[in-house]
Amino acid sequence: MAEIRHFLTLRDFSRDELNRLMHRAIELKTAWKNGERDYHPLKKQTLAMIFEKSSTRTRVSFETGMTQLGGHGMFLSSNDTQLGRGEPIKDSARVISSMVDMIMIRTFGHDIVETFAEYSSVPVINALTDAYHPCQLLADMMTYQEHRGDIKGKTVAYVGDGNNMCQSWMNAALQFDFKLNIACPEGYEPDAELLEELGDRVTLIRDIRAAAEGASLITTDVWASMGQEEEQKIREKAFATFQVNAEVMALAKEDAVFMHCLPAHREEEVTTEVLEGKQSVVWDEAENRLHAQKALLEALNAS
C-alpha cells in the first residue's frame, strides 16, 4: 500500500509542492469567483473535522471547501465525542479513518496529531496545535503572492509570542525562502532547536524597531493563545512593548503589508489603526483559508 500523505507541518510538502499548491489555490479562487461551480473532485467524500479548541475561520473554510469540492465536512467537537471522555487517540484514529476520506484536527499537543496520523488510514491535516498552524501559512503565502508577488528573498518581521504561528512562519521562511526577524520578549522564544536549525534565515531580535526595519511584511499574533487564558494578565505585562502600531509599520518598507491570522485583540498586539489600515491584508488572509485549503484537500486526495 502506498504511504499515506499527511499535512502536519509545512515540512511535509516540498518547496515545489507548496509553490504549486499556492498557485493552484489562486486558480481555484478565480474559477469559483467566475462562477465555475461544477468542479467536484471530492464528490461523496467526507472530511472529519475534529475540534478540541474553538474556531471560526478554520471550521467555516474547511466545511465550505468540502461542499464546494462536492464532498461533506463533518464537524466533531471533542465535547460531544468519546475523544472528550478519554478514548485513546490511536483507537479514535483507527475508527474514524475507517469511515471517512480525510481527517482534520485542531488540538493541543503536536504529538496528538502525530499519533493520530500514525494510526490513521487516511490523510490527516493539522488545523492548529500548540506548536504549528500550517494551514494558516498556506493562506498567508497565497495572500502575499496576490498582493506583492514572490516572497522569496524578502524580509518578514514577526512580532510577539514564539508560539504556533511564529513556528509556522519559521517553517515558511525555510520553504518559501525568505528571511524572518522575530521580536519577542525574553522567556517567550520559539523552540530553541528549530531556531538553531534555521539560523541562516531566522534571527531573534529583541528590539521590535530593529526587527521591523526594512521588512516587506509585518505580522503578529495574540499574546495569549488558546489554552493560555489564565496567563493573560502576566502576558499583557511581558508583551506591553511588543505591539504593531503605526510607528512600527513606518520602519518597514513603504509597500509592506500587515498580516494577522485572527482573531486579533485590538490595542494589544496590534492597534486598530494598523489592523484597519491601508497596509492590512488580514481580511484577504482570512478568505484565502478557504481557497488554500481547497488546493490542499485536492492535492491530498490525488496523492
Residues recognised as catalytic: 106, 133, 136, 221, 261, 289
Query: What, of ligand NVA, ligand CP, none, does residue 221 touch, CB below 5 to 8 Å by kind?
Result: ligand NVA
**Site membership for ligand NVA, residue 126 (CB under 6 A):** no
Query: What, of ligand CP, ligand NVA, none, does residue 203 touch, CB below 5 to 8 Å by kind?
Result: none
Q: Compute the distance between CA of residue 237 and CA of residue 57 in angstroms, rounded to an integer.
A: 29
Neighbours of 165 (CB within 10 A): 26
Task: Enumerate residues 254-293 that contact ligand NVA by CB under 6 A.
Answer: 261
Q: Which is nearer to ligand NVA, 69 or 282 (CB)?
A: 282
Give the shortest CB-136-to-ligand CP separation in angstroms: 5
Give the shortest CB-282-to-ligand CP separation in angstroms: 10
Give the shortest CB-79-to-ligand NVA separation in angstroms: 18
Give the shortest CB-209-to-ligand CP separation in angstroms: 27
**Site membership for ligand NVA, residue 210 (CB under 6 A):** no
Query: What, of ligand NVA, ligand CP, none, does residue 45 touch, CB below 5 to 8 Å by kind?
Result: none
CA 275 to chain centre: 18
Q: Which three cell numbers stand for residue 144?
A: 502575499
Size, binding site for ligand NVA by CB under 6 A: 9
- Residues in Cβ contact with 215 at an 8 Å cutoff, skipping those fewer than 6 apart: 155, 156, 157, 181, 251, 252, 253, 256
Task: Enumerate residues 163-182 that contact ligand NVA by CB under 6 A.
Answer: 163-165
**Site membership for ligand NVA, residue 222 (CB under 6 A):** yes
Query: What, of ligand NVA, ligand CP, none, does residue 164 touch, CB below 5 to 8 Å by kind?
Result: ligand NVA
Query: CB-based burial of residue 155 (10 Å sphere; 0-12 exposed, 13-18 middle, 19+ buried)?
Result: buried
User: Which residue, chain included where needed, has cell 494551514?
Assistant: 135
Q: Which is nearer to ligand CP, 238 or 262 (CB)?
A: 262
Residues that bind ligand CP (CB under 6 A): 55-58, 128, 136, 261-262
Query: What, of ligand NVA, ligand CP, none, does residue 56 touch, CB below 5 to 8 Å by kind?
Result: ligand CP
Stretch that binds ligand NVA, among 30-38, 219-227, 237-245, 288-296 (CB under 6 A): 219-227
Q: Where are the alpha helices (DSSP H) in 13-130?
A: 15-33, 57-68, 89-97, 110-119
Neighbours of 151 (CB within 10 A): 20
Q: Which three cell numbers stand for residue 38?
A: 461544477
Q: Compute the distance between CA of residue 251 and CA of residue 208 in angstroms, rounded to an integer.
A: 10
Q: Compute the distance between CA of residue 86 and CA of residue 180 in angstroms, rounded to an integer.
A: 39
Phi-psi bin for 189: left (phi > 0), alpha (psi -120 to 50), beta? beta
Interacting residues toward ligand NVA by CB under 6 A: 128, 163-165, 221-222, 225-226, 261
